Structure 1
Amino acid sequence: MIPQISFSRPVVLVSRCLEFEKVRYDGQVIHCQAVRDLESFVDFIKVCPEVDIGLGVPRDTLRIVKTKGEYRLVQPKTGNDVTEKMDEFTDSFLEELSEVDGFIFKSKSPTIGIRDIKVYSGLSNAGVIERGSGFFADKLLKRYSGYPFEEDDRLRNMRIRHDFLTRLFAFADFRETLGSGNMEQLVEYNRRYHYLFMLYSQSLANKMNSLIKGSEGVAFKEVSWEYFSLLKEVFSNHPFSKSYVNMAQNIYSGFKEQATAEDDFLFNDVINLYSHNLVGVGAVLEMLKFFVGKFASEASAYSRFFEPYPAELKMEVDPGRDKDYWEHFHF
């Protein structure tokens, strides 16, 4: 049986217009289910760069304009250039930002959007010449390279949301481990997360193991920061179906001597169904959880592999499962 585990409480920087305040340019608040779901599990730091530099609500829209190789943040309707104000605010904000584990930003925003933000060649009747990050977001992406960043619209996707939450809670857990200054806690962190890291990258997970095993006599700060670099590198990868199959085979191989012919049949049958996309990854994980509970002497070592974040944050697999599609339809 996998023991109950507790989770560190992540600190998340979030766009203030997502579920919190009517600070969007049109005076609206944006619904984001992921933010709403997280409210009981994280501490939010809220920011709206436009309002924080003194622009009102509602307000004229902003756009990024590139002229003579320079990027400017301008309100096209009036020509109001707020580039310097935004740069000064962002630099000041970064200086004051202390603990943070992840970021959820509003998509398509010329200040806080992460990806695919339009850059124009001029203020009016000008085409899009390139795409990048928002003025505010760009500096945070550079300062916190490798950290969990996502946008509201992408977090509607089950796989993207799962990956973001996995990274977010791993980062929060590591921050607390780092704050302890205790090598034993770093060893324990690595033990809890090893199988999860193996799912993302077996070679990097093995490097992390080697680093921990060779840490005797090395200062905690030196080991922990090298470990953190590997942690960020691990999560630069993203597991696909083959990753889950390989990991399932890796875990099950440790139980081969104890497993029966019936166990082998069950394992191979579920893996075959999953490989042909006839069952979801949840079926694979539940099967592995059964075998770990049955055979493993240290089931707690698998805890973050099976539960990388609180179960309450999982999305429904089939939201319309109990809907009656045949109601009032008779023939």
Structure 2
Amino acid sequence: MQQIKVGISACLLGDEVRFDGGHKRSAFCTEELGRHVEFVKLCPEVGIGMPVPRPTIRLEQHNGEARAVVPKTGEDVTARLIAFADRAQSHITQVSGYVLCAKSPSCGMERVKLYNPDNGHAQKAGEGIFAAQLRQRFPALPLEEDGRLQDPQLRENFVMRVFVYAAWQSLPEAFSKADLLNFHTSLKLLLLAHNQQAYRSLGREVAQLQTVNDAARKTYIEGVMSALASPATRANHTNVLQHIQGYFKQHLSSDQREELTDSILSYRQGTEPLLVPLTLLRHYLREYPSDYLTGQRYLNPYPKDLKLRYGL
């Protein structure tokens, strides 16, 4: 199986490419996620020929749009950053997700300082130029910032989306409606945990398709990734766990059913992590195999050693 590739701001891998000659090494990316993916590292500012160290860039509001400007000289490097995104496109089409450096005028996803050049006042309302290009060109691509990856829910959500998107990319180039139905079926419980309305809507779209052309593929995967972009709620997880529980009701003793019910309710009430009922359900799946449940990405969305559900 081909290794999953993830794009990343080079400074997050420890490369000393920041404006001050430093880095922002991410322990999670380098020590944990890096065991399971191949990183494709880029630094847009170095990529457009700026030195290390270098004068700072900031986002400025000009005629209603954000521009990347070197305040020391007044040089506008927006077009150069967009041209870099053009050159990097062949690399980015290979990745299944992208980790960006927070607050950067090139790579920040959100809340980047956006300056009024007339009075120097700034609002945290901008988006980095390169990050904006990624979002516009690859709307289905999972994006996340290093700072937000410190949040257990956002971290789990990003990694889950990376592995779902990688599975999508691994489908045959000219896959059939049957292939699409199988893929959609594998996502049923995951989508129900994140967005029940989107699951039903996507299911109708797939059922009504006459041919699976490029436009249909694009619409479908963008819908899936949008639905998965918000972390699942405790209530939705509970509904999915109870749905899975139903597959074992004929096999379990009354004590086993009670133990499983209690573990699901304890999770719902916040006294047990998600991992507790999931561990019980996985145990019963080994005891009483179900092809349908085995094929559900919800139960094993990414490698277990990442331990991403421990804090949920």
Fold equivalence (TM over 0.5): yes
> Which residue of the partner structure matches residue 46 of structure 2?
51
> Which residue of the partner structure matches residue 275 of structure 1?
268
> Which residue of the partner structure matches residue 242 of structure 2?
249
1:25 shift after superposition: 0.8
Alpha-carbon distance in 1 for matches of 2:208, 2:77: 51
**How many residues end up aligned between the 2 structures?**
310
Contact in 1 for aligned 2:14/2:25 (Cα 8 Å):
no
Contact in 2 for aligned 1:273/1:279 (Cα 8 Å):
yes
Q: Secondary structure at the match of 1:51?
A: helix
Q: Secondary structure at the match of 1:126?
A: coil
The one of 146, 166, 190 equivalent to 1:152 is 146
User: Which residue identity is paired with 1:105?
Assistant: L
Contact in 2 for aligned 1:102/1:147 (Cα 8 Å):
yes
233-242 or 66-75, which deviates more? 66-75
Alpha-carbon distance in 1 for matches of 2:207, 2:257: 34
Q: Secondary structure at the match of 2:235?
A: helix
Closer/same/farther in 2, CA of residues 222 and 63 from structure 1, 3 Å limit: closer
1:198 shift after superposition: 2.2
Q: Secondary structure at the match of 1:17?
A: helix
Q: Secondary structure at the match of 1:304?
A: coil
Contact in 1 for aligned 2:7/2:92 (Cα 8 Å):
no
Alpha-carbon distance in 2 for matches of 1:316, 1:297: 23
How do 1:19-168 residues align onto structure 2 when only pairs under 5 Å count?
19-36=13-30, 37-94=32-89, 97-122=92-117, 126-129=120-123, 131-168=125-162
Alpha-carbon distance in 2 for matches of 1:195, 1:179: 25
Closer/same/farther in 2, CA of residues 110 and 152 from structure 1, 3 Å limit: same
What CA deviation, in whole Å up to 9, does each residue of 1:53-93 have, x standing for no partner? 11110112111111343433222233333233223323343
Closer/same/farther in 2, CA of residues 179 and 25 from structure 1, 3 Å limit: same
Please list every run of 5 or more consecutive structure 2 residues that lacks an aligned counterpart in the other structure: none
1:98 shift after superposition: 2.9
What CA deviation, in whole Å up to 9, does each residue of 1:21-75 have, x standing for no partner? 2101111122202321233322322211111111110112111111343433222
Q: Name the structure, 1 or 2, with higher relative contact order (CA <8 Å, separation 6+).
A: 1
> Which residue of the partner structure matches residue 163 of structure 2?
169
Alpha-carbon distance in 2 for matches of 1:119, 1:222: 35
Q: TM-score, normalised by structure 2?
A: 0.87
> Which residue of the partner structure matches residue 240 of structure 1?
233
Please list every run of 5 or more consecutive structure 1 residues that lacks an aligned counterpart in the other structure: 1-6, 319-331
The one of 282, 297, 307 equivalent to 1:289 is 282
What CA deviation, in whole Å up to 9, does each residue of 1:123-154 have, x standing for no partner? 7x611145121111112111222421001111
Closer/same/farther in 2, CA of residues 227 and 76 from structure 1, 3 Å limit: closer
The one of 215, 219, 231 equivalent to 2:224 is 231
Closer/same/farther in 2, CA of residues 232 and 272 from structure 1, 3 Å limit: closer
Alpha-carbon distance in 2 for matches of 1:115, 1:179: 33
Alpha-carbon distance in 2 for matches of 1:297, 1:129: 53
Contact in 1 for aligned 2:99/2:145 (Cα 8 Å):
yes
1:105 shift after superposition: 0.5
The one of 257, 261, 277 equivalent to 1:264 is 257
1:266 shift after superposition: 0.7
61-70 or 295-304, which deviates more? 295-304
1:219 shift after superposition: 4.0
Larger radius of gyration: 1
